[in-house]
Amino acid sequence: MLKLQNVQTFYGNIQALKDVTIQISEGEIVSLIGSNGAGKSTTLMAICGIVPPRSGEILFMGQPITHMEPDRIVSLGICQVPEGRRIFPHLSVLENLDMGAFLRKDRSQIKRDMEYLFELFPLLAQRRHQAGGTLSGGEQQMLAISRALMARPKLLLLDEPSLGLAPLIVKRTFEIVRKINTENKTTIFLVEQNANLALKVAARGYVMENGRITLTDSSENLLANEGVKKAYLGF
Amino acid sequence: MDYFLGLFLGGLTRGSIYALIALGYTMVYGIIELINFAHGEIYMIGAFTALIVISVLTLMGMNTIAILVIAGVIAVVYSSAYGYTLEKIAYKPLRAAPRLSALISAIGMSLFLQNYVLLAQTSDFLPFPNLVPDFEFMEPYAHIIGSAEIVILITTAIVMILLTILIKFTNIGKAMRAASQDKTMALLVGINVNRVISFTFVVGSATAAIGGVLIASHIGMINFYIGFIAGIKAFVAAVLGGIGSIPGAVLGGFVLGWTESFATGYISSDYEDVFAFLFLVLILIFRPQGILGRSDKHKA
């Protein structure tokens, strides 16, 4: 479904991604783990067209999207929940969700999707007229995921969904991720520093170090791998 | 009392015009954090376009109200095209450059447009016909407020209401607000931010052109330089209200209009501008974010 082939990106003269090759099939949950500054978020921003690669190719369902405008990429069905959630702080919860559905025209269907999400996250329904910036971290996470789902993505990119959240909410977030994957058949690419969590929900994983993919395997094998254990799992 | 009321309404009228122009400054600042110093020139071009259209239509012998409306519409379209092009050639290529570059580009465009109109027209003041007839029902109040002023107030109110609806409830309005809060995230939900920025320039130019036509028909003469002083005043209004805030621009416009009107009426007309700028200095000292501005860390 998604294929990154020898992708290289630069911020000015600093190379952020070196020869990154990643492949994700339809219906999978795949994780990308690595330490802070390894280039994980840059990988997602490259896929979304925010930081276009200098060389290499990105294919989505066989179509090259390497130098496409970000809004075209969203319209093809790729959505990202970025690091730090980036809720529009002065838009209400409802307006944030509206923005998630910005490119859709089917009003009645949009309404139904919103009802579905409000059922899934009753707290958001209660706060629908409140400004996004006044929500708690956990509520913002739910809103960020909901906003992405409003676009009905085929591929959902999640950047550090566990960051800065209480353990209980992290657990709930990952349950939701699994639910989205099984119920909506949405393919998920999960970026995490918390390797333990990521590898438990994903079937396969990639390990990134200094902008390079250094290892890829099934989650099971990665969890058992000595190097991964030492570097990312803390034993 | 009538004197006071007259000054109050005069200030309100003047403030409406400042508000119409200040909206463009504040909307553009809200979305790309640039003070568009060429904005006053867009207003001036609106007034000139209207003058040309009016001259032609008057020769054709049309009824005055129809002339005013047609001239207004053409001025709006023409100014919007200028605003759109201005952004495309002077600001868009500098989007990633340091902020100072775009600011210098803005000042350059301002000078360019002034001189272009100076060469195309003349440096003399040109008479601008007063097209608003004296309404009969206004006669008992004529010593307080004129018909032209009523037209200005009503038009401004309509524009403000339409603009509020646009920004609050339409998709493009929500996209404007989203893009001004977080541009990257706006891109990630599929908003074409470049298009939103262009749209902002078009709307801001349109309101400025409406202001230009209204005030030119009220004051009765225009030249290539009117955009400069009006632009500076409107900029003061936008800063007063809190730059980036739309209700702030409107309130700032009114406050500035009243300040000038009362200062002129009770003290001396020589000090009109002094009071306007004194007020700006005081606001900048005691409430730098403006009356309605939020001291948003994100926006700092």
Residue range B81-111, pLDDT digits in tens: 999 999 999 999 998 899 899 999 999 999 9
Residues in chain B within 8 Å Cβ distance of A98: 171, 174
What digits encode the pLDDT tens for the residues B195-219?
999 999 999 999 999 999 998 888 8
What band does B136 get if pLDDT is binned at 50, 70 and 90? confident
Predicted confidence at residue B300, as pLDDT, reads 33
Chain A closest-CA separation from residue B191 CA (Å): 6
Find the mean pLDDT for residues B20-32: 93
Contact (Cβ atoms closer than 8 angstroms) between residue B93 and residue B25: no
- Going by their DSSP bridges, the two strands A29-34 and A187-192 should be labelled as parallel
Q: Cβ of B191 and A99 within 8 Å?
A: yes
Tell whether B175 is within 8 A of chain A (Cβ).
yes
Q: Cβ of A100 and B178 within 8 Å?
A: no
Q: Cβ of A147 and B187 within 8 Å?
A: no
pLDDT tens digits in sequence order for chain A, 235 residues long = 999 999 999 998 999 999 999 999 999 999 999 988 899 999 999 999 999 999 999 999 999 999 999 999 999 999 999 999 999 999 999 999 999 999 999 999 999 999 999 999 999 999 999 999 999 999 999 999 999 999 999 999 999 999 889 999 999 999 999 999 999 899 999 999 888 889 999 999 999 999 999 999 999 999 988 888 888 776 6
Find the mean pLDDT for residues B146-158: 90
The length of chain A is: 235
Q: Cβ of B188 and A102 within 8 Å?
A: no
Q: In this predicted complex, what is the ipTM? A: 0.93
Give chain A's domains with CATH numbers.
2-84+151-233 (3.40.50.300)
Report the alpha-carbon distance of residue A32 to residue B290 in Å, rounded.
46
Report the share of chain B in percent with pLDDT over 70.
Answer: 98
Of the candidates A60, A39, A36, A19, the residue with the CA atom closest to the CA atom of residue A156? A60
Residues in chain A within 8 Å Cβ distance of B175: 99, 102
Rg from Cα positions in chain A: 17
Of B182, B189, B298, the CB nearest to A100: B189
What digits encode the pLDDT tens for the residues B173-199?
999 999 999 999 999 999 999 999 999
Contacts (Cβ under 8 Å, ≥6 apart) of A115: none
Q: CA dist B18 to A66, A222, B46, B57, B208, Å?
A: 46, 65, 15, 28, 9
Report the alpha-carbon distance of residue A168 to residue A160 in Å, rounded.
16
Report the alpha-carbon distance of residue A65 to residue A47 in Å, rounded.
8
Q: Which single residue is written with the structure tokens 């034993």?
A: A235
Report the alpha-carbon distance of residue A139 to residue A202 in Å, rounded.
24
Q: Cβ of B182 and A79 within 8 Å?
A: no
What CATH code is assigned to B2-286? 1.10.3470
Residues in chain B within 8 Å Cβ distance of A80: 188
